[in-house]
Structure 1
Amino acid sequence: MARSLTVDLRGARKRVSESLTGVPEWFGGILVGSQAALLSLLMVIAPALTIAASAPTADSSSAVDWAGAASIGTHFWLLAHGVPLVTQAATFSIPPLGLTLIAMAMLVAIARRFATRSWGSWAIAVGSYAGTVALVTAVMYATSADAASAVVTATVVAVIMAAPSVAWGIWRAHGAEFGWLMRVPMQVRTGLRLASGTVFLMLCAAAVAGAAFAFVGRGAIADSASSLGLDAVGGTLLAVTETLYIPVMVIWMLAWLTGQGFIVGENSLYSPHAIEAGALPHVPILGALPSASGGLLVWAPVVIVAVAVIARLAMRRKLDLRWADVTSSAIAVGVVAVSVAALSMVASGAMGPGRMADVGIAWLPVTLVTAGLVAGGFAAVAGIELLVTRVIAPRLKRGFGRADAAKPVAEPVTTEV
């Protein structure tokens, strides 16, 4: 019986894993970081080379600018690591967060296969990834005056990406002991759990809101894509590139839910209260921007309050307005504020020439409003719990007690013999 390709790949993977058994932990760590960096880079360069090979040249010759295509792909990959992409026509500083998440997913998957359960393997994997990214950045910016800042930025972002990803991969493969967490105060642990759940639910709500507007604007998206007149290869590349920016639009929609909104170009505003939009480039994904305002949409910030209420109730711990609970909620609000501020800064910058040089979120008002809405949600749960435990429950208990006292006691029945 003929073997399938899947069986052959599994056999090859098993042989590779067996051949690496017993090798020093530093070798596995190097494999994790270098493979993840190079594979994610190849994933970007390969489509760029495909486009270069399929696109006609300006002078109708058969020469293909392979170096230029590889350079553009590499700079786009570095953009996902925080290094701005600067061209003669425009500057792009907002990273394609989808590509960033893909690189982190590769780190998790490769760490599960090659990393060992040790801090040394983790550190070497993180260092090898950051080192590979730094080396690529140094080569691409060798003749640039911004070489030092580009290398530092790429290295720091690479460490931030690799540290949790490699740790997660090692944990999934070998397990982990979290006994050291018991040394962290309970209030801090509870606050961090509450904050992570709140941020996750807020992003889910923002994604749902963005999907709703994308469905409403599906006609504009289709018309914009058709007007570009791209062939199959160019259309596919455009669709993939736009998909990599969907996480950025989710962060924009999070700012929209707070009521503060976001801008896409100078003198523009997309918020539940008003929409002030100017001329936008013919990019299909921009058809998914909010297209309505006013009416019931002005109540969008209530969604953030509801999310905070759900996250707090999901903790399954009754609030009694003790200092421990107040401290945990305050820590959670602070962590949520820091997370929203960081996400807002990442999703802001330049995305092209002209009006598109100013795109994103005013992080300070969005952060302050988000913190206030989340704190309001937590306070609402505390108020409900206080009302139930201090007012309603005692009254019900007293009511049942009086009912039992008023109930006549039945006399025992005697039988004469």
Structure 2
Amino acid sequence: MHRLLVALLAALDAAVAAIVGLAAVLVPLLLMWVFTFGGVADWQGLWPATVRIWQLGNLVPLALTLHDDFLVETGLPEGAGSFVLSLAPLAFAVLVAVFAARSGRRALGSGRWLTGVAAGTATTALAALIANVTADNPVAAVDPWLAVLLPTLVYAVPMLLGAVTGAWSEGDEGLVDRLHDLADRLPSGWRELPALVARGGGITLAGVIGFAALAIAVAVPLRGGEVIALYEASQVDLLGAILLTLAQLAYLPTMIGWAVAWMAGPGFALGAGTGVTPVATQLGMLPGVPMLGLLPENGSPLLLLSVLAPVVAGALAGWGVRTAFRAEARAEGADHEPVAPRAFLAAGIAVIAGAGAALIAALTSGSIGPDRLAHVGPEPGAVALAVGLEVLLGAATLLLAPRSYTSRLDRLASGWADEDADHARTH
């Protein structure tokens, strides 16, 4: 495909991603204005608010300055008038990342993925610049450089990863293929390791995030009464309840990140001097946000069993990678599985899992208010260490186990698959 056409298509993808993100904020705000105030919308207020929320969703910190009259009406202390809001509603960034990764794969299919990534990055930077320049807001201020840089990175990094991972598996007749050739020159038993480590790390992170999402799903019926009580205490009307729910859904990925830290053991903070861990929960005064009703009131030593979730995720990754490693060895005519490469695989999977957990913790940490509320979320270093060690235990158990043990697991899984196939044929 011609280079110019690839650039135009990638630019169109990036522009659509920016427009959809802004529209996802603008439409609810517009409906709120129409149903609350009626008449013509005040675009001088709606557009800046839309852009600031979109920027926060793309990891841009907001410096808020509240008017003195507002502080008096709400009963807030004078010192609460200025603070930084940096805890991002990650649903925006997650959706952008998924869209960008798919765009990167499409650019790869065109044979000009570097051109596509460059065009998508430049378009996102331009969209972020235009949005920021047109959204002067006396209440919420941003650093102009961060307002352009961070939304651009949120789009560019997943797009680049989508293109590179696709190029590694499918080939690109370029830089990635040359790197692949270098890996193929490694000794037998080692050349498959880069791809297997990446696969195992991906399986582990997907498993840990899945267990965290399951923990939140279980908490909904168990703690639903507290959530409903907080909704009632907010005293909002139907429209307000809908908007409040949408805002909380935007923070759902953030809650999942907190659940990852909680399962791993270190937990997370909701203000200076607080902590929510499986063993204990220590909270002070919190904002009356209904979704915070899902937090456990007390810890318990039994809840420490939650640390088994990363161990299980690591074991599943170790099993899958061990099976693939064995298949590669057989394809090359080897009748044994060297220990050193398997140990390297276990360590590599743990490192990727720990790094991913640190990134999740960093993205789900920030500030939501002044004073003690300036420290919210998990500590990246502690979460990375805990997840890395727990995943290492699970992955090493399956990767370094005797061959006969993993072979029995393979036969068991194969038996389940055969039974499912027979059941499907009979029905």
Is this a same-fold pair by TM over 0.5? yes
Q: Is the 8 A contact 1:321 1:382 kept in 2?
A: no
Find 2:216's aligned residue among 201, 207, 210: 210
CA-CA distance at 1:37 after TM superposition: 1.0
The within-5 A match list for 1:360-371 is: 360-371=377-388
CA-CA distance at 1:118 after TM superposition: 2.4
SS in structure 1 of the partner of residue 401 of structure 2: helix
Find 2:194's aligned residue among 179, 188, 196: 188
CA-CA distance at 1:134 after TM superposition: 3.3
Give the Cα–Cα distance (whole angstroms) in 1 for the partners of residues 158 and 350 of structure 2: 24
**Residues 112 and 337 of structure 1, relative CA distance in 2, 3 Å threshold:** closer
**Residues 353 and 233 of structure 1, relative CA distance in 2, 3 Å threshold:** farther
User: Could you tell me which residue of structure 1 aligns to residue 112 of structure 2?
Assistant: 118
User: Could you tell me which residue of structure 2 aligns to residue 151 of structure 1?
Assistant: 148
Q: Is the 8 A contact 2:87 2:367 kept in 1?
A: yes
Unaligned runs of 5+ in 2: 67-82, 184-190, 327-335, 407-427
Find 2:24's aligned residue among 39, 43, 56: 43
The within-5 A match list for 1:5-404 is: 24-56=5-37, 65-89=42-66, 90-107=83-100, 116-119=110-113, 120-140=115-135, 146-164=143-161, 176-177=170-171, 180=177, 181=180, 183-184=182-183, 185-315=191-321, 316=323, 317=325, 320=337, 322-385=339-402, 388=405
CA-CA distance at 1:196 after TM superposition: 0.8
Give the Cα–Cα distance (whole angstroms) in 2 for the partners of residues 261 and 354 of structure 1: 21
Provide, for residues 2-58 of structure 1, a one-character-per-residue CA deviation record: whole Å limited to 9, x for no partner: xxxxxxxxxxxxxxxxxxx9983333232221122122212211211222233349x
Provide, for residues 381-402 of structure 1, a one-character-per-residue CA deviation record: whole Å limited to 9, x for no partner: 245326859xxxxxxxxxxxxx
Mean CA deviation greater in 255-264 or 122-131: 122-131
Give the Cα–Cα distance (whole angstroms) in 2 for the partners of residues 357 and 248 of structure 1: 16
What TM-score do the two structures reach when normalised by structure 1? Answer: 0.77
**Structure with larger Rg:** 1
Give the Cα–Cα distance (whole angstroms) in 2 for the partners of residues 261 and 110 of structure 1: 35
Provide, for residues 353-391 of structure 1, a one-character-per-residue CA deviation record: whole Å limited to 9, x for no partner: 4543210011111211211111111222245326859xx
CA-CA distance at 1:279 after TM superposition: 1.7
- The amino acid that maps onto 1:146 is D
Provide, for residues 288-343 of structure 1, a one-character-per-residue CA deviation record: whole Å limited to 9, x for no partner: 12334214212221222122112211221459552222222222221111111111
Q: Is the 8 A contact 2:342 2:400 kept in 1?
A: no
Give the Cα–Cα distance (whole angstroms) in 1 for the partners of residues 137 and 163 of structure 2: 29
SS in structure 2 of the partner of residue 87 of structure 1: strand
CA-CA distance at 1:154 after TM superposition: 3.2
Identity of aligned residues (%): 22
Give the Cα–Cα distance (whole angstroms) in 2 for the partners of residues 70 and 139 of structure 1: 8
Give the Cα–Cα distance (whole angstroms) in 2 for the partners of residues 374 and 127 of structure 1: 38
- The amino acid that maps onto 2:35 is S
CA-CA distance at 1:233 after TM superposition: 2.1
Q: Is the 8 A contact 1:32 1:111 kept in 2?
A: no
**Residues 254 and 336 of structure 1, relative CA distance in 2, 3 Å threshold:** same
CA-CA distance at 1:230 after TM superposition: 1.7
**Residues 250 and 321 of structure 1, relative CA distance in 2, 3 Å threshold:** farther
Question: What CA RMSD, in Å, does the superposition of the two structures yield over aligned residues?
Answer: 3.2
Q: Is the 8 A contact 2:58 2:88 kept in 1?
A: yes
Give the Cα–Cα distance (whole angstroms) in 2 for the partners of residues 333 and 358 of structure 1: 28
CA-CA distance at 1:102 after TM superposition: 2.3
Aligned residues: 362
Give the Cα–Cα distance (whole angstroms) in 1 for the partners of residues 94 and 244 of structure 2: 19
- The amino acid that maps onto 1:299 is L
Give the Cα–Cα distance (whole angstroms) in 2 for the partners of residues 365 and 110 of structure 1: 34
Give the Cα–Cα distance (whole angstroms) in 1 for the partners of residues 252 and 314 of structure 2: 24
- The amino acid that maps onto 1:131 is L
Q: Is the 8 A contact 1:129 1:162 kept in 2?
A: no
Give the Cα–Cα distance (whole angstroms) in 1 for the partners of residues 104 and 393 of structure 2: 41
